[in-house]
Amino acid sequence: MAMTLEELLYDLGEVHNVMPCMLQRVREAFEVKDAVQAKMLPILEPLAAIGRELRTQDNRITADPIFVVQQKRRTYGFDTQWGGDVVWIDQANDCIEADDEERARLEAHYDETGEEEDGWARTGYVDTWEAVQPFLAGKAADEYIAANRHNLKEPRTYVESAYRNREWKALRAACIAAAAALDGAKPAEDPNVALLRRCVPALKTCNGLASASGIGTAPGDKLLADVLAAIGGAP
């Protein structure tokens, strides 16, 4: 049922009575929001930068990947009688391994005499991969290797899964959420702003009827302007 002019003007009066309080609450809410955003931005931006990488990177067919920088670790001292790989260690020169040419000479001497040459040790070894640093993003792992290669032994990136690792999954989700928040994802609207937005059509209708009836519209225009300012200018 259509509202009469008297009913619309009554509603306008009711809105006018509560509007100052609502406008003040909206202003205070925006002030708090701005203060929180100013404090959170330095925290969120680094997380958002990681989140942007996570949204677009190659996860190497792995759910919730952990990009682990590894380096090769060689352990010496294994008994050569049990087979396996063998090297010669220069005991007088920082225990470095013999190169291929020196190794061939030492092996020939050992095969002929059954003895190690003075200053050299013949030993078995095992190579294993040692974890150095974990990363959320593969790009960060690659950058770490590039910056620290001189301190690493044959570094590589190996991908593990954070399966059932709630903390790692939460950290990944936080980074992706931060990227979405700072890249323009629309946040939930404040309830007071939503209520004011719904008042705009009624205010415009009341102002139109008041104008057509010869009633002054200055108070209504002022109220409408305040409402539009509070909600950002768009109904």
Residue 207 CA to residue 9 CA, distance in Å, equals 9
Question: Are both 29 and 83 inside the same structural domain?
Answer: no
Q: Are residues 81 and 104 in the same domain?
A: yes
Residue 21 predicted with pLDDT over 80: no
- Across the range 171-186, mean pLDDT stands at 86
Q: Which residue has the tokens 């593969």?
A: 138
The conformation of residue 28, written as its DSSP 8-state character, comes to H
The total number of structural domains in the chain stands at: 2
User: Does residue 139 share a domain with residue 99?
Assistant: yes
Q: Verify that 135 and 73 share a domain, yes or no.
A: yes
Higher pLDDT, 175 or 185: 175
Largest CA distance in the chain: 122
- Given the structure tokens 């202003």, which residue do they identify? 27
pLDDT at 153 over 80: yes
| Same domain for 35 and 71 | no
Lowest mean pLDDT: which of 85-89, 103-107, 198-202, 218-222?
218-222
Pairing of strands 65-78, 96-97: unpaired
Clarify whether residues 156 and 132 are in a common domain.
Answer: yes
Adjacent-strand bridge partners of 86:
124
Q: Is residue 175 part of a domain?
A: no
How does pLDDT run across 185-233, given as a tens digit for each residue?
Answer: 555 555 555 655 666 676 676 666 556 666 555 555 666 566 566 655 5
138 and 112 assigned to the same domain? yes
In a domain, 217, yes or no: yes
Range of the domain at 109: 66-160
* Residue 134 domain flag: yes
Is there a domain that residue 195 lies in?
Answer: yes
**Sheet strands side by side (includes 120-135):** 96-97, 86-90, 120-135, 65-78, 156-161
Tokens of 80: 């050569």
pLDDT at 123 over 70: yes
Mean pLDDT of the chain: 80
Residue 80 has what pLDDT? Answer: 85
- Long-range Cβ contacts of 159-163 (<8 Å, 24+ apart): 159/59, 159/60, 159/62, 159/65, 159/66, 159/67, 159/68, 160/62, 160/65, 160/66, 160/68, 160/134, 161/62, 161/63, 161/64, 161/65, 161/66, 162/63, 162/64, 162/65, 162/66, 163/63, 163/64
What pLDDT, on a 0 to 100 scale, did the predictor assign at position 201? 72
- Residue 154 belongs to some domain of the structure: yes
Single out the residue in 160, 193, 208 at which a domain terminates.
160
User: Is 176 part of any domain?
Assistant: no
Query: Are 108 and 147 in the same domain?
Result: yes
Task: Lowest mean pLDDT of 119-128, 141-150, 196-205, 211-220, name the range.
Answer: 211-220
pLDDT digits (tens, 9 = 90+) for 28-74: 666 665 665 667 778 889 999 999 999 999 999 999 999 999 999 99
* Cut 0.85: pTM above it: no
For residue 70, the one-letter residue type is Q
pLDDT at 67: 98
pLDDT band for position 82 (cuts 50, 70, 90): confident
- E strands, the chain, are 65-78, 86-90, 96-97, 120-135, 156-161
Pair 82, 108 in one domain: yes
Choose among 168, 166, 146: nearest CA to 156.
146
For residues 35 and 177, what is the distance between their CA atoms, to the nearest angstrom?
Answer: 20
The pLDDT value recorded for residue 92 is 85
Confidence check: pLDDT of 101 > 70? yes
Q: Which residue has the higher pLDDT, 19 or 46?
A: 46
78 and 129 fall within a common domain: yes
- Please tell me whether residues 124 and 150 are part of one structural domain: yes
> Looking at the predicted structure, is the pLDDT value of residue 174 above 90?
yes
**Whole-number pLDDT of residue 4:** 53
